[in-house]
Amino acid sequence: MALNKHWGPRFRGLDNSCLVRNLPAVKPLVRGILICMSWHMHAVEWPFVPLTNPPIPQVSASDDSTHPIDAFLLKQLEDEGLTMNPTATPRALVRRAYNDLIGLPPSMETVTNLEMDPSEANWERLIRNLLNRPQYGERWASHWLDIVRFAETNGYERDGPKPEAWRYRDYIIQSLNEDKPYDRFIKEQVAGDLMFPKSLEALVATGFYRLHVYDDEPDDALQADYDTLDDILSTIGAAFMGISVQCARCHDHKFDPMQQTEYYQLLDFIHSIEPYGRPHSGGGSRAYGAITQPLALPGQQEAWRLRQKQRIDTLEKQIDQASDQEKPALKSRLEEIRRAHPPFEKALAITDRQDVARMTTHRLKRGDPQSPGEKVVAGFPAMLDSTPSSVSNSRVALANWLTRKQNPMTARVMVNRLWQHHFGKGIVSTPNDFGASGSGASHPELLDHLAWKFMQGGWRLKGMHHYIMTSRAYRMSSRSDQLKARKKDPSNHLFWKQQIRRMDAEVLRDAMLSFSGDLNLKQHGPSVFPSLPVEIHHTQDSANKGWGKSPLEEQNRRSIYVYAKRALPLPMLEAFDASHVSFSLGKRAVTTVAPQALMLLNAPFMQARASGLAQRTRSLENIFHIVWQREATPEETRACRHLLEQQAYRLRATGNRKPEKEAMIHLCLALLNANETVMID
C-alpha cells in the first residue's frame, strides 16, 4: 500500500507491537512515548485508507426498524454498558431542527403541530419543509464561509475592499438551496472557469481563490506570492481533504505521511492562476491589480435564461405536489427566482495567466522562494493516490481528483461537518485535520457508512440532513441525568445524549430581529451596513471610509448579508464568536465572557428589539409564545405580573408618562436575555 511504502521506512526496525506488549519492563517515560507512537501510527492509517461500506452492527437493542446510525452508536454504548438518552420533547425537537436547518425560531403553531402529531411521518414533513425553504441556504452558507475564510476586505492596515466578493456568498447560498451535488460544488470552485466556461455560477465560484488576506504593499513581493499560494493550498487541504497540507511547506510533514516534494506537486496545480498584481521592476511592492473578470462571454445570457426557466418549471411542479405547509416556503423561493437579475459583467474571479509562460514549480528549500531546489511536476500525495505520478497540471485534474469516488477523504470530511453541526461536535472533533495531530474518530465505521451513503446518493447534502435527522440519535434528549453515562463518558464522546448549544452569533442576531418583528428576509445582493456607535468608527480611518450606512430596513436583513470586514466585524457578531478569519475555520470557539451579557442587556440593538417585541405582543402570554414557543407556567405568570407592577410603579414615580408600556419593554428585554432564549437543547 502507498501509505506503508512511504511511511514505513521511518519506523524500520521498530517493532512497536512487541515493545508495547512488554511495557512493564520499559521505563515509564519510554513507555509513554511508545504508547503515543503506537496510537499515532494507528491514527495515521485510518483516514487515508480507501473508503468502504462497513456492515451495520447487530446490537441487542435493535430490530428491523433500527436506524443504521443508531446501530453504530448503540454498538459502542452497549460495549460500555450504556444506553441512549430518551427522545426529546416535540418542542425541543422543533427548536433544534429550526436552529440547525434555517437558523430562525419556529412559531408556536409549529411546535403545537408536532405535539399533537409526533408521528414519524409528521417529523419527516417538518424536515422536508425546512430543507425546501430559501433560508436553508443562508444558514448553511455561514458554515461554509468559515471554512473558506470568507471576507469582503483584504485585511492588514488598509483593509481594502474585495470588489464583488458578495457574489461568491450568494453563489454558496444558491448552490445549497438548489442541493447542488457536492462534487460539482467543488469542481466549480476549484476549476469552474476551465470546466464550465459558459456557466456564470462556475465563474463566480472561483472567487474561492480570492478570499485570502492580501498585502497590497509587501516588503518582499516574491515571498508574498508564495504566502498567497500557501494560503490557497492550505485552504484546499483543510476544506476538502481535512489535511494540514501547509505543514509540509518547509520540510516533510512531522505527523502525516506527506513529503515536502508532494506539497509542491500540489502547489503546481494552482501556480499559474493570475495573481492580484505584478512586482515592480525595482521595488518590493506590488500594484493592486484588476481582480474582476469580464463575464460577458458568448451564450451566457441565453444559458442563464434557460437555467432560470428550468428552475421555475421545477419549482412549479414541486408546488403542485407539496402540502399546504410546504407551499410558504416554495412559493417564496419561486418569487426570488423570478425577481433575479440577468447576468452581470464582473465578479471576483480568476483565470490562468495568459501573458507569460506557465510558472515552473520548484521545491523550495526550507520554504524560501530565494532558495529553489529541484523542479517538480504536478502530482498527488502517495498516501491518497495510487495513480501514476505524471498527471496534467491543470486545475481540472485537481478538481477531478478531489471528487473521484476513490479519494478517501472528500466525502468523509464533508459528512463529518454535517454531523458536527447537528450534534455540536464531529465524529472527528478536529474537522479540518483528520491526520495524526487531529483528534481521531470516535466512530470511524459510522463515518465511513455516512460517507459511502453520501456518495451513493449523488453527493446530495439535503439527503444526508434528512438521513441524520431521522435517526433516534439526533432526536435524543440533551439531559445529563444518566449517572452512569455521565461518570464513564462525561465529554459525551460516545454520543449517548444530544448537546446543549448556544445559538451561533448570526442565529442569535437573526432571532432577536425575528422576535421584534423587524427581520427583513430579502435575499441576495450587495452586503449591508448596520449602524455602528461613533466610537467604533474611530477604529477606521479619519474619513470613516471603512463602513457605509444602509437604510434601516436593509440593516435588519439576516446576518449573512452583513458586510464582512476583516478589521471591523459587527460588534454583536464578534462578541458571540463570529469572526472574519484569515485561515480556514472548521470549528468556532465558544466563549462565555462578560461583554456578551453586557451586549444583550445594554446594546441599542437589543433595546430596539425589546421595544419592538413589546409593541407586537397582545398579552403577557403572547410573549412566551413568540420567544419560547410554549405556555407560561403559573409561577412564571405571577413573577412577570409582579415585575410589571413594580416597574410601572417605579416609572410612574419618576414622571414617566407611559409607565405600563415602558415596564413591558423591560420585561421583554429580560426574557430576551434569558438562558432559554439563546440556548438550544
The reported pLDDT for the residue numbered 541 is 53
Alpha-carbon gap, residue 271 to 289, rounded angstroms: 18
List the single range of 25-39, 197-211, 551-565 with lowest mean pLDDT. Answer: 25-39
* Mean predicted confidence (pLDDT) in 52-57: 94
Average pLDDT of every residue of the chain = 87
The reported pLDDT for the residue numbered 322 is 81
pLDDT band at 279 (very low <50, low <70, confident <90, very high): very low
Alpha-carbon gap, residue 298 to 92, rounded angstroms: 52
pLDDT in tens, 96-144: 999 999 999 999 999 999 999 999 999 999 999 999 999 999 999 999 9
Cβ atoms 48, 257 nearer than 8 A: yes
Alpha-carbon gap, residue 153 to 165, rounded angstroms: 9
Q: Give the pTM.
A: 0.88
Alpha-carbon gap, residue 216 to 570, rounded angstroms: 24
pLDDT in tens, 2-24: 333 333 333 333 333 333 334 44
**Position 229, amino acid:** L
Which is nearest to 470 in space by CA: 170, 188, 125, 215?
125
pLDDT in tens, 421-456: 999 999 999 999 999 899 999 999 999 999 999 999
Which is nearest to 402 in space by CA: 179, 180, 141, 190?
190
- Exposure on the CB side of residue 289, measured as CA atoms within 13 A: 14
Question: Residue 589: which residues within 8 A CB-CB, separation 6 or more?
Answer: 577
373 SS3 class = strand
pLDDT band at 39 (very low <50, low <70, confident <90, very high): very low
Cβ atoms 69, 454 nearer than 8 A: no
Query: For residue 657, how many other CB atoms are within 10 A of its CB?
Result: 8
pLDDT band at 226 (very low <50, low <70, confident <90, very high): very high
Query: For residue 419, how many other CB atoms are within 10 A of its CB?
Result: 25
Cβ atoms 11, 388 nearer than 8 A: no
pLDDT in tens, 149-193: 999 999 888 888 898 899 999 999 999 999 999 999 999 999 999
Query: For residue 481, how many other CB atoms are within 10 A of its CB?
Result: 9
Cβ atoms 264, 248 nearer than 8 A: no
* Mean predicted confidence (pLDDT) in 459-477: 98
The reported pLDDT for the residue numbered 283 is 30
Whether pLDDT at 382 is above 60: yes
Percent of the chain beyond pLDDT 90? 66
* Mean predicted confidence (pLDDT) in 53-61: 90
Which is nearest to 423 in space by CA: 501, 502, 479?
501
Question: Residue 567: which residues within 8 A CB-CB, separation 6 or more?
Answer: 153, 155, 159, 539, 540, 546
Alpha-carbon gap, residue 637 to 653, rounded angstroms: 24
* Mean predicted confidence (pLDDT) in 381-395: 78
